Structures are given as C-alpha cells and as structure tokens.
Copies of this chain bind each other. A is one copy, B any other.
C-alpha cells in the first residue's frame, strides 16, 4: 500500500488542505539495476514550497498539477541495486511526498544517524543550517561587535542565524510572534533581546531601543511591515540579507511596503536576495563548521515534529500561522 500526495489545484492566497489530493495504490514497487527502493522516514515542510505551488516564474520551476509534491526527505533504503547505497542506509534528498518510491540515487546523500538524529539532516545539518550559515557569513559579512536583527527568529532558519551571530560575537535581536517564542529565543538560543511583533505597537521604536547602536545586519525572513520597521533603523553600510518574505507569500495582490531606495541611498546599504544553492561551493566548509558547533554544544535547535503521512499538508499550512517552533518536520 503506497500513499502519495498530489498538488490538486494551485492555492489562491493561503493554501488549504483541499489544494492537495491523497492517492492510495495497492501496488508493490520493484527496482531495476542501478535503482534503490526508499521508505520515507521524515518529510520537511518549508515556506518556499508555497512559491512552487504557484505558476509564477521563479528560481525553481512550479510543481505540476496532479503530480506529487516534492520536498526535502530522509528515507531508508529498503533494497538496492545501486553500488553506492545498501539496504539499511539512510539518505536525504529532494523526493516526492510518497510513503515509498524508487530512485536512481541521483541527488541523494547518505546521512549518519549515529552523529545526529535523522530529522536534524532536514534542519540544522540540512538546508536550514546551510541557509543560515551561508546567508549570514557570505552576505552579512559580520564583524565582532556589530548588531544583527533576525526576523522570523524562532523559525528554523532564524533560530540558527541568531546562534551563529552570537558565536561570531554580534549583538543579536530576534523578532517573533509570541511571548513564548521570545522567551525561547533568549533562554534557549542565547539572543540578547527579543521583540514580539504581535504585542508591540511601535516596532520602529522597539527596534531602536533594542539596538541602541543601530542595525548593521538584518537577516530578513518575513518582509512586510516588520522589515519596514527594521529598515528605518539601519546603519551606514548595513547589509540586509533577504532570505524570505513569508509575510507576503500568500498575498494575491503584489504587496506594498515602505520604499527602500531612500534608505539604501542615504546609508550606502546593501540588500541581497539569495537561495542557498548559490553558495554550493561553501557547503563542505559550512557542514564541517555546523557539525562541530553542534558537537561542542554551541549550537542547539528546536523542531516541531508532526506525526503521520496524512498530516503533511496541514503541517505545511500551519507554517503560515507560525505554529512551528524551529524546523517543521513530519515523521512518517
């Protein structure tokens, strides 16, 4: 019995469960020479998938309708006719939302469950950690003593960015949407200050107070009014790392924000959008660094693990309500 989740229709605004279709097939998969049979263990749900569900031009092609959705997945090798993988291995890769599937091994990496929990390879030792590390170091060019603001700070990427910021000697301010998250930022992740945007009336003033020397680096996961408030507080030669814009992904009309140009001109400031694959040549260095910081206890992470294949779409939708703390993962 194999279950698959297909994209049934393109979301308008916020995605709903009805955009997805479940298919159950009573078949047994077989493999040919060079192939391997995989059983899904963990499925990553990420805000960027929203973009692929639309039909708009973007850095990756849109998902096709009536085809399986794909995301980062950790799977167990059930059987193998591929010399690079053997039964019992665990692999990570971009795979389909299926309980079982056949692969030719391309794009899969072996992961070691003795070094870290399997789910970590979807998060801090996966795309999440690499995004945080490469964005902050390559674009942010952090210098000890500078001030870093992170939006979506309790999210998967944000919580890692803040911790790396502390390791590198920055003053780190996190913005998140609940008092519970703010508490977590400070107690678990070592942020210097946190701002709850849901209870703060004047975000511009709150950021100014938390960053008395101004903002040198802004790691932006959200866009929208929160980013407007940070922009007003940037310093000369500030670097704004544009990683995501979750606050506007579900907008059906192109959203308006404070015009950035006057702030960029008067501060000689930089805004740079990126996707992690731009920095592929940095991945070996980044993985070595992240694994060692994790082993030394300098880096920690939180995950929200949802149980059950059938709950993948809802877990994805819940990202847009901020229901996750840290990386959102579905355990099959």
**Interface residues of A, Cβ cutoff 8 Å to B:** 51, 57-59, 220, 223-224, 227, 236, 242-245, 248-249, 254-275, 278
Complex contacts, A259 vs chain B, CB 8 Å: 223-224, 245, 248, 254-257
Given A256-B259, A257-B256, A262-B248; A273-B278 close (CB under 8 Å): no
Pick the contact of A268: B224, B260, B266, B273 (CB < 8 A).
Answer: B273
Measured between alpha carbons, how far is A58 from B248 in the docked complex, in Å? 30
Taking the closest CB of chain B, its distance from the CB of A241, in whole angstroms, is 10
Are B224 and A266 touching (Cβ within 8 A)? no
Measured between alpha carbons, how far is A256 from B220 in the docked complex, in Å? 19
Complex contacts, A236 vs chain B, CB 8 Å: 59
A-B contact pairs, 17 of them (CB 8 A): A59-B236, A223-B261, A223-B262, A227-B261, A244-B261, A245-B261, A245-B265, A255-B258, A257-B259, A261-B273, A264-B271, A264-B273, A265-B274, A265-B275, A268-B273, A268-B278, A271-B272
- Identify the closest chain B residue to A231 (Cβ): B254
Are B266 and A58 touching (Cβ within 8 A)? yes
Complex contacts, A224 vs chain B, CB 8 Å: 259
Complex contacts, A266 vs chain B, CB 8 Å: 51, 57-59, 273
Taking the closest CB of chain B, its distance from the CB of A23, in whole angstroms, is 30
Looking at chain A's contact residues, the main secondary structure is: mixed
Are B274 and A271 touching (Cβ within 8 A)? no
- Identify the closest chain B residue to A255 (Cβ): B259
Are A260 and B257 touching (Cβ within 8 A)? yes
Are A269 and B273 touching (Cβ within 8 A)? yes
What are the 7 A-B residue pairs with the smallest beta carbon separation, nearest first? A264-B273, A223-B261, A245-B261, A257-B259, A271-B271, A265-B273, A256-B256
Are A264 and B242 touching (Cβ within 8 A)? yes
Complex contacts, A242 vs chain B, CB 8 Å: 260-261, 264-265
Given A236-B59, A257-B259, A259-B256; A264-B268 close (CB under 8 Å): no
Measured between alpha carbons, how far is A267 from B268 in the docked complex, in Å? 21
